[in-house]
Structure 1
Amino acid sequence: MMGNRSFPTRYVIVILTFLCTSVCYIERVGFSIAYTAAADAAGVNQTSKGVILSTFYYGYACSQVPGGWAAQKIGGRRVLLLSFMLWSLTCALVPLDPNRPFLLVIARLLVGVSQGFIFPSIHTVLAQWVPPHERSRSVSLTTSGMYFGAALGMLVLPTIVKLKGPQSVFICEAALGAIWCVLWFKYANDPPRSEHPKASAAGFGESLLPVKRGKKSKEENGPKIPWKKIILNLPVWAIVVNNFTFHYALYVLMNWLPTYFELGLKLSLQEMGSSKMIPYLNMFLFSNIGGVIADHLITRRILSVTNTRKLLNTVGFVVSSFALIALPLFRTADGVVACSSVALGLLALGRAGFAVNHMDIAPRYAGIVMGVSNTAGTLAGIVGVDLTGRLLEAATAAELDLTNPESWRAVFLIPGLLCIFSSFVFLLFSTGERIFD
């Protein structure tokens, strides 16, 4: 039985949050694949494609901090369920028609807003349930669901588009969202007030847990959120800068690799078979490897929390930078898959540095700090996805064919240089010590 003594409830929560991030990224990859197919068939230009693909991130950026606040005040479990239901319904009801861009913009904004509540809520839930010695691998497993979902989406969805058409992807995503909502509603719960050692160990006090009956004191409504201290804190900014870079590289590759394969290398995604999922599968593997390594180094006292975070973040981002810069030099499917696999896999390893650091420095406000940091990551999606479309359109205007590596050089050079810069920022300013009581 789920949640009994032999299988603790916190494990159930981590597994469900893993499934949550998996389904969310199936949706994101699915829209990119389905819309690209529909837009190319309709003759939509690269700039217009970039605008539609980046619209999601405008809504996503707007709801990150409100998502952290709502999770803190209402409860991450409830906010997670409501946001999941909203984006699933949107996918079920909106037609995928590239000739109706206004409707697509509204739909993508709504999906972005609703999914923007998800990751701050997840961090709030995990901070309540997961003790510090399990923190790295629990967060790494949860976030690795993003890459598992992306890999699964890249493997299965192009075939669904080919057999059933682009709209069928939306129906599949809505069905997955509905199934997850049922599982979360049935099995997820808040830590009981009388039995919450895991919540206390993670930095949460009893006053922060939901009170189901009786009056609440001012203390029980939760402590005042130290917004000024959060915004002006250099370790927070170290996380923010790295979150921006991570998502810039991830979203550019996630949204534009299908175009790179189709137009840059003249390869059909359907004909590539399972190889197109390898970069995201590599992220799934390295994310969990990073979490296990981090917890091992910390619990065995081989390195301090601070040095562990800095080591994994630096190795991940620096190696990834070289792979990104080298990517347009490869002109075969195997070469591009291998290079993008190294880039994304090592970025995922770096998440055991900056991404878990939210809970190190501010376990009590993990959702809030995650909201601030993920806002930056979402802005990276807006900037990177849209800028890539404009760079490719400019290359076309300069009479460079998209099969020419020069057309793509700047696309991958920008995230490569950002990786080097952000790794230095994290080395200089990050800490693994708790700085928010």
Structure 2
Amino acid sequence: MERMRFPKRYVIVILTFICTNVCYIERMGFSIAYTAAADAISVNQSSKGMILSTFYYGYVLSQIPGGWAAQSLGGRQVLLLSFLLWSSTCALIPLDPDRIIILVIARLLVGVAQGFIFPSIHTVLAQWVPPHERSRSVSLTTSGMYLGAAAGMLLLPGLVRIQGPQSVFLVEAALGITWCILWYKFSSDPLHSDHPKATTLPIIKSKEKGSSLHPSKVPWKKIICSLPVWAIVANNFTFHYALYILMNWLPTYFELGLQLSLQDMGSSKMLPYFNMFVFSNIGGVLADYLITRRILSVTRTRKLLNTLGFVISALALMVLPLFKTSSGTVLCSSISLGFLALGRAGFAVNHMDIAPRHAGIVMGVSNTAGTLAGIIGVGLTGRILEAAKAADMELSRLESWKPVFSIPGYLCILSALIFLLFSRGERIFE
């Protein structure tokens, strides 16, 4: 790559894209493999739900510590260690639904390890990527999540059917270890000569150790009291609330609400996630175009794309239960998730606009809210449907599902308004 004069920051962005791709293959893969193994021995739904949700409890615990570790120890090193931990866990832990304690511990470890990944990525990108490339770089990196989810949904059920559930764990571990080798070989900490405008942490010469990165003290009080930070937090919460509702409950809606079998849907069930991949990159390229051509300021660009994405997503969510066909539902969910991904060119990149030196910390704070949204939203949806059944309402009726999709719809509109009022595009933390 060096002989080809390929800019090192492009290598870093491509590797972080592969990183998020592999992470979401793992998340989708565990759900598919464990469900198949648990159903084979008739594990009850309560136990299945506990195992499937354990990951998020570990994940939420390590977001803020992940931001601190990435800033203090170096995002590159923390990213490598976290990948090694979850990959090794997948390789060593057998998939046995009867061994609940071992599975719970394993999922907690994987959740904790992956909780360090996104704060570390934002720390690395804030060091390497210049401001005029931030939107498309972050969008490309995060779009790996959606491509991973789509690939997992399309390919892994067949792997389970042919080779068994345990094979998914081995494939995930192999992908993780392979990425670790690539990251170890091709990644590095930035020097001023790599891209002077990209490095956001000061490089201080040390007589004993040459040169190293010394991050400044974290301004916790300013972060906690900052309205622009809370605007990011609110939108991260809403983004993940809507995403996790559709990821976890859309299959149930197809089965019970529309009386359709997922097995008969073929590749169409992966379209919403593939649409997220496409729209995420469209949003990033569009944002950088508007900023670099000076068509709009950074602040107005972030507000425009965030508002456009979240409002259109809200409308698609609200009309989704009106459709009683699989094609209509796939269309609405694809529009909703696609424009949510477009909105990431607003709030998700804003970490590095307002706090480039502390992007990992701010990302850790906002991603904690995003993970809590998954825990709250998935559980609340289950209670809404149970309440509908208790009221003698069939789950095939519109009234049973309308609040499931309208709640994230209203949250999208509220969050867009908050971001429109309080977000900023310039640096506010030194």
Common fold by TM > 0.5? yes
* Contact 2:79 2:116 (8 Å CA) reproduced: yes
SS at 1:197's partner residue?
Answer: coil
Change in CA separation of 1:267 and 1:43 when aligned onto 2, cut-off 3 Å: farther
Q: Who is 2:208 aligned against?
A: 214
Q: Deviations over 1:133-188 (max 9, x none)?
A: 11100010000101111111111112222223333222221111111111111111
- Residue of structure 2 aligned with 1:351, choices 340, 344, 355: 344
**2:367 is matched with which residue?**
374
Aligned AA for 1:249?
A
- Supply the distance in 2 between the matched residues of 1:355 and 1:252 (Cα, whole angstroms): 19
* Aligned twin of 2:89: 90
- Give the structure-1-normalised TM-score: 0.92
Contact 1:47 1:390 in 2 (8 A): no
2: distance between equivalents of 1:75 and 1:406?
Answer: 50
1:104–1:409: structure 2 CA closer, same or farther, 3 Å change rule?
Answer: farther
How many residue pairs were aligned?
Answer: 430
Q: Identity over aligned residues, as a percent?
A: 73
Q: Tell whether 2:313 aligns with 1:315.
A: no
Q: Distance in 1 between matches of 2:29 and 2:49?
A: 16
- Does the residue aligned with 2:188 lie in a helix, a strand or coil? coil
Q: Is 1:204 the equivalent of 2:201?
A: yes
CA distance in 2: counterparts of 1:266 and 1:229, whole angstroms: 51
Following TM superposition, by how much is the alpha carbon of 1:65 offset from its aligned partner in structure 2, in angstroms?
Answer: 0.8
- How far residue 225 of structure 1 moved from its aligned partner, in angstroms, is 0.8
- 2:350 alignment partner AA: N
Do the aligned residues in 2 keep the contact of 1:242 with 1:354 (CA within 8 Å)? Answer: yes
CA deviations on 1:76-116 (whole Å, 9 max, x unpaired) are 11111110111111122223334443333222211110000
2:203·2:214 contact (CA, 8 Å) conserved in 1? no
- Paired position in structure 2 for 1:184: 183
> Using the alignment, how far apart are the partners of 1:319 and 1:240 within structure 2?
20
Between the aligned partners of 2:356 and 2:301, the Cα distance in structure 1 is 18
**Which residue identity lines up with residue 411 of structure 1 in the other structure?**
V
Counting only pairs closer than 5 Å after superposition, residues 252-401 of structure 1 correspond to structure 2 as 252-401=245-394
After superposition, the Cα gap between the structure-2 partners of 1:267 and 1:395, relative to the gap in structure 1 and judged at 3 Å, is: same
What amino acid is aligned across from residue 83 of structure 2 in structure 1?
Answer: F
CA distance in 1, matches of 2:10, 2:159: 33
1:240–1:376 contact (8 Å) kept in structure 2: yes
Unmatched 5+ residue regions in structure 1?
Answer: none
Runs of 4+ in 1 over 6 A off after TM superposition: none
Question: Normalization by structure 2: what TM-score?
Answer: 0.94
How much does 1:189 deviate? 1.0
Once residues 260 and 48 of structure 1 are traced to their aligned partners in structure 2, the CA distance between those partners, rounded to angstroms, is: 21
Deviations 1:180-216 (A, max 9, x none): 1111111111113x52434x44533214xxx797259
Distance 2:403 2:49 in 1: 16
2:154 aligned with 1:161, yes or no? no
CA distance in 1, matches of 2:250, 2:41: 20
The answer to whether the 8 A contact 2:316-2:336 is kept is yes
In structure 2, do the counterparts of structure 1 residues 124 and 212 end up closer, same or farther at CA, with 3 Å as the change threshold? farther
For 1:3 and 1:333, locate their aligned partners in 2 and report how far apart those are by CA, in whole Å. 49
**What's 1:150 paired with?**
149
Contact kept in structure 2, 1:53 and 1:385, CA below 8 Å: no
Unaligned runs of 5+ in 2: none
Alignment deviations for residues 289-309 of structure 1 (CA, whole Å, 9 cap, x no partner): 000110011111111110100
Structure 1 position 44, deviation (Å): 4.5
Aligned equivalents of 2:386, 2:106: Cα separation in 1: 25
Instruction: After TM superposition, list the pairs within 5 Å mapping 1:92-171 onto structure 2.
Output: 92-171=91-170
**CA separation of 1:39 and 1:321: change in aligned 2, threshold 3 A:** farther
Are the equivalent residues in 1 in contact too, given 2:126–2:198 (CA < 8 A)? Answer: no
Q: Give the counterpart letter for 2:359 in structure 1.
A: A
In 2 relative to 1, CA 126–391 (structure 1 residues): closer, same or farther, beyond 3 Å?
Answer: same
- TM-superposed deviation, 1:222: 2.6
Secondary structure of the 1:97 match is coil
Deviation at 1:5, TM superposition (A): 5.8
Residue type at the aligned position of 1:287: S
Question: Is the CA contact (8 Å cut-off) linking 2:202 and 2:214 kept in structure 1?
Answer: no
- Helix, strand or coil for the counterpart of 1:434? coil
Which residue in the other structure is 1:62 paired with? Answer: 61
Distance 2:397 2:105 in 1: 35
Q: Aligned partners of 2:253 and 2:207: how far apart in 1? A: 56
The amino acid across from 1:214 in the alignment is E
CA contact (8 A) 1:80 1:118 kept: yes
1:180 and 1:417 map into 2 onto residues whose CA distance is 39
- Counterpart CA distance in 2 for 1:152 and 1:382 is 24
**In 2: Cα distance, 1:89 partner to 1:256 partner:** 30
The CA distance in 2 between the partners of 1:403 and 1:44, in whole Å, is: 25
Question: How many angstroms apart in 1 are the aligned matches of 2:44 and 2:321?
Answer: 22
Measure, in 1, the Cα distance between the counterparts of 2:35 and 2:384.
Answer: 17
Please state whether the residue corresponding to 2:96 is helix, strand or coil.
coil
Corresponding residue SS for 2:6: coil
Q: Which deviations, in whole Å up to 9, do the C-alpha atoms of 1:19-53 show, x marking residues without a partner? A: 00001111111222223334444444555444332
